[in-house]
Amino acid sequence: MDRYTKRLNLNSIQNACFAALIALAAVTWEIPRDAAAATYVWIWLEGQILAGIKLIPLGQVSGQRLLFDLASAIPEAITRAQEVDDDEIGATLPNLAIASSLHETQRTRLYRS
């Protein structure tokens, strides 16, 4: 039980991405790598489906059904991801995504007021 009472020292962390914070929690609390990866993938998948519910609109029930169906693929996705060599990993453009999200004239918005 001692491993769960350890506190994360977040005061010294600045500008950390969500994946890094999940990794920090996993190391601090000695969470197995596969469980930490499953946590991260679940959070990502849930966020994507929530966006779909708001953008498509997908609907709450359909979104929950889709989340349930796709969740069963998480363990295999983690296994396959661990088999990928570093030179096979593609690049991402997080700053482009952030800049795109700040554009005030976008046609579809996740949150309407």
Give tens-digit pLDDT for 79-110.
999 999 988 887 777 777 777 777 666 565 55
pTM above 0.95, yes or no: no
Are 20 and 66 in the same domain?
no
Domain that holds residue 15: 1-31
Is residue 43, in this structure, part of any structural domain at all?
yes
Count CB-CB contacts under 10 A for residue 53.
Answer: 19
Are 111 and 76 in the same domain?
yes
- Answer yes or no: are the C-beta atoms of 63 and 53 closer than 8 Å: yes
Q: What's the mean per-residue pLDDT of the chain?
A: 83
DSSP-based three-state secondary structure for 107: coil
- Answer yes or no: are the C-beta atoms of 53 and 71 closer than 8 Å: no
pLDDT attached to residue 35: 95
Please, which pLDDT band fits residue 3 given cuts at 50, 70 and 90?
Answer: low
Is residue 111, in this structure, part of any structural domain at all?
yes
- Answer yes or no: are the C-beta atoms of 71 and 111 closer than 8 Å: no
**Total domains present in the chain:** 2
